[in-house]
Structure 1
Amino acid sequence: MQFGIFTVGDVTPDPTTGRTPSERERIKAMVAIAQKAEEVGLDVFATGEHHNPPFVPSSPTTMLGWIAAKTERIILSTSTTLITTNDPVKIAEDFAMLQHLADGRVDVMLGRGNTGPVYPWFGKDIRDGISLAVENYALLRRLWREEVVDWEGRFRTPLQSFTSTPRPMDDVPPFVWHGSIRSPEIAEQAAYYGDGFFHNNIFWPADHTKRMIELYRARYAHYGHGTAEQAIVGLGGQVFMRRNSQDAVREFRPYFDNAPVYGHGPSLEEFTAQTPLTVGTPEQVIEKTLGFRDYAGDYQRQLFLVDHAGLPLKTVLEQIDLLGEEVVPVLRREFAKNRPADVPDAPTHASLLAAREAGAAAVQA
């Protein structure tokens, strides 16, 4: 099972000091967070994509390419690439280039994002959101898998004898996660292609997450990719830890109360009771995260959000240290217990390449 960090890249004032970091500081902090994640033994670093203040990650592959040069092992991903407003030709090119630079340590999470105005900014209509996600991904798959593509659709100009360059590394496209919180159509899309489904459940109660994942698993099996239990599932999570739970709550409360995403809404206590947010000790994080399996089944990827709401970099790095030293080792061990042998690990470039070669050998035999 893979464990990692995802960031939304917000530039938010620290409510305890009133200081707002510069965009440069925030970008550099995200790089430091990725390096720390690798240092402590985490598996994945993922960045979001936003094109509006107060967020900075408008060019994820640029950032991930820089991080690739500064790391050796960690998988580099997105925690949403906007399949709706990006040109699928450019996605194909950018992520294939990143694949080569990172020696295959790349996958991608596709989604529609949560900022409605981004659609007209890029010449699209938000009412076409689902249709754009379906059509653009169908083209993206072909661009990665076919040397020459002739294509005509509804939302972009036709392609005639087009070859996307560079080609995917080893002719193995990056593994794709389809990220969605509330859209069954996206769970269906992930299941249809046999791709991964990432439910970023950080704002949602367990019963909603359970329904979405069960839908994806059932449809994955329906399309013949394996059993429902073999479907590839990822989940989000939010944590803030201190050795003493009261200290964690006291320190995190002003950040929670003033956060752009959920400040001035439910209380911290209400939010932690109803969603995956855990504010407390490492042991409490372990206990709550292990409980995700009760409604999601055996899953493949767990990403944590730790750097939002104006938290200073020093505090964030302390959180990652606690994850790497005290939380994730226990989660790895406990999640491995009683895990059925036929439940797959999260795909990597190496595993996808090995599967392709094994299939080719079987055909030749």
Structure 2
Amino acid sequence: MQFGIFTVGDVTTDPTTGRTPTEHERIKNTVAIALKAEEVGLDVFATGEHHNPPFVPSSPTTLLGHIAARTENLVLSTSTTLITTNDPVKIAEDYATLQHLADGRVDLMMGRGNTGPVYPWFGQDIRQGIPLAIENYALLHKLWREDVVDWEGKFRTALQGFTSTPRPLDDVPPFVWHGSIRSPEIAEQAAYYGDGFFANHIFWPKQHTEKMVGLYRRRYAHYGHGTPEQAIVGLGGQVFMRRNSQDAVREFRPYFDNAPVYGHGPSLEDFSRETPLTVGSPQQVIERTLSFRDYVGDYQRQLFLIDHAGLPLKTVLEQLDILGEEVVPVLRKEFASLRPAGVPETAPLHPAVRKNTDGHHDTGTDGHHHTGAQVRNQEV
């Protein structure tokens, strides 16, 4: 199973000191956090994509390209690549280039974004969010698998005899996740292509996550990619840890109360009870994370959000030490012992990465997990 972290890249005032980091500091600190993730033995670092304050990751491939040059093992991913407002041609080019630079250590997560004004900034209409996501990904999927593409759709200029360059590394496209908080259409899209489905798993109760993942698993099997249990599932999560749970709650409370995403809303206790947010001891995080399997089944990737809401770099690095030393080793062992034979251990890796790892999982020649019909190369 893959464990890692994802960042939303917010620039937030530390409520305990009143200090706001500069954009330069936040970007540099994000790199330091990624390097620390590799140092402590995590598998994945993922960044969001935002084009509005108070966020800084407007150019994920630039950030990840720099991190690729300074790491050896991390899988570099996104926690959102805006499939709605980015041109699919540019996504195809940018992430294929990144894939070459990182020697295959790249996958990405498609998402629609949750900031309304971004759509008109890039010439789109938020009311068309789902159709944009479906059509744009159909084109991206085609661009990475066909050398010469003819295309006509509703939302962009037609293509005739177009070749996206560079081609994917060794003709194996990056593995794609489709991320969603609440849209069953996105779970359906992931299932249709045999791609991964990433449930944000941060803001909603477990019953909602269970429903979304269950839909994806059933439809994955319906399209002939394998059994429901073999579908590729990822989960988000939020944690804050100290050796003593009371210390964790006391330290994290001002950050929670003032966070730009959920601050000034439910109490920390209510939010922790109703969502997967876990603030406490390492053992509490282990137990809570293991409980996710009870309602989503065996899954392949767990990403934690640990660097938001104004938390200082020193604190984030301490959180990574705890994750790497005390939490993830136990989770790896426990999840592995519970996983039935035939269920993939991790998300698919590029062949160039697989040959340098100890993990073993069933992948097709295009780097995707296949046990039934091949992924259809056509529009949803």
Determine if the TM-score, normalized by the shorter chain, exceeds 0.5.
Answer: yes
Aligned residues: 359
- TM-fit CA distance, 1:337: 1.3
Partner SS for 2:243: coil
When residues 322 and 358 of structure 1 are mapped into structure 2, their CA distance, relative to the original with a 3 A threshold, is: closer
Contact kept, 8 Å, 2:172 with 2:367, in 1: the verdict is no
- TM-fit CA distance, 1:201: 0.8
State the match for 2:349 in structure 1.
348
Partner SS for 1:176: strand
- TM-fit CA distance, 1:354: 6.6
Partner SS for 1:145: coil
- 1:268-287 to structure 2, matched below 5 A, reads 268-287=268-287
- What does the per-residue CA deviation read over 1:277-328, in whole Å, with 9 as the maximum and x for residues that have no partner? 1100000000000000000100000000000000000000000010000000
Give TM-score, length-normalised by structure 2. Answer: 0.93
State the match for 2:177 in structure 1.
177
Instruction: Work out the CA distance in 2 between the residues paired with 1:258 and 1:151.
Output: 47
Question: Over aligned residues, Cα RMSD in angstroms?
Answer: 1.4
Runs of 4+ with deviation above 4 angstroms: 351-354
State the match for 1:320 in structure 2.
320
- 1:197-346 to structure 2, matched below 5 A, reads 197-345=197-345, 346=347
Contact kept, 8 Å, 2:175 with 2:367, in 1: the verdict is no
Instruction: Report the identity percentage.
Output: 82
- TM-fit CA distance, 1:266: 0.3
- TM-fit CA distance, 1:131: 0.3
Amino acid of the structure 2 residue aligned with 1:337: S
- What does the per-residue CA deviation read over 1:228-283, in whole Å, with 9 as the maximum and x for residues that have no partner? 00000000010000010010000000000011101110000001111111100000
Partner SS for 1:318: helix
- 1:88-99 to structure 2, matched below 5 A, reads 88-99=88-99
Amino acid of the structure 2 residue aligned with 1:216: Y
When residues 354 and 289 of structure 1 are mapped into structure 2, their CA distance, relative to the original with a 3 A threshold, is: closer
- 1:105-116 to structure 2, matched below 5 A, reads 105-116=105-116
When residues 300 and 244 of structure 1 are mapped into structure 2, their CA distance, relative to the original with a 3 A threshold, is: same
Between Structure 1 and Structure 2, the one with more helix by share is 1
- TM-fit CA distance, 1:356: 1.1
State the match for 1:38 in structure 2.
38
Q: For structure 1, which runs of at least 5 residues remain unmatched after alignment?
A: 360-365
Instruction: Work out the CA distance in 2 between the residues paired with 1:142 and 1:191.
Output: 17
Contact kept, 8 Å, 1:172 with 1:353, in 2: the verdict is no
Amino acid of the structure 1 residue aligned with 2:173: P
Contact kept, 8 Å, 2:235 with 2:302, in 1: the verdict is yes
Contact kept, 8 Å, 1:170 with 1:353, in 2: the verdict is no
Contact kept, 8 Å, 2:348 with 2:363, in 1: the verdict is no
Instruction: Work out the CA distance in 1 between the residues paired with 2:367 and 2:308.
Output: 43
Contact kept, 8 Å, 2:6 with 2:48, in 1: the verdict is yes
Partner SS for 2:109: strand
Instruction: Work out the CA distance in 2 between the residues paired with 1:246 and 1:339.
Output: 33
- What does the per-residue CA deviation read over 1:192-249, in whole Å, with 9 as the maximum and x for residues that have no partner? 0000000001111000000000000000000000000000000001000001001000
When residues 282 and 357 of structure 1 are mapped into structure 2, their CA distance, relative to the original with a 3 A threshold, is: closer
Instruction: Work out the CA distance in 2 between the residues paired with 1:355 and 1:142.
Output: 17
Instruction: Work out the CA distance in 2 between the residues paired with 1:259 and 1:355.
Output: 42
State the match for 2:152 in structure 1.
152
State the match for 2:62 in structure 1.
62
- 1:9-48 to structure 2, matched below 5 A, reads 9-48=9-48
Amino acid of the structure 1 residue aligned with 2:150: D
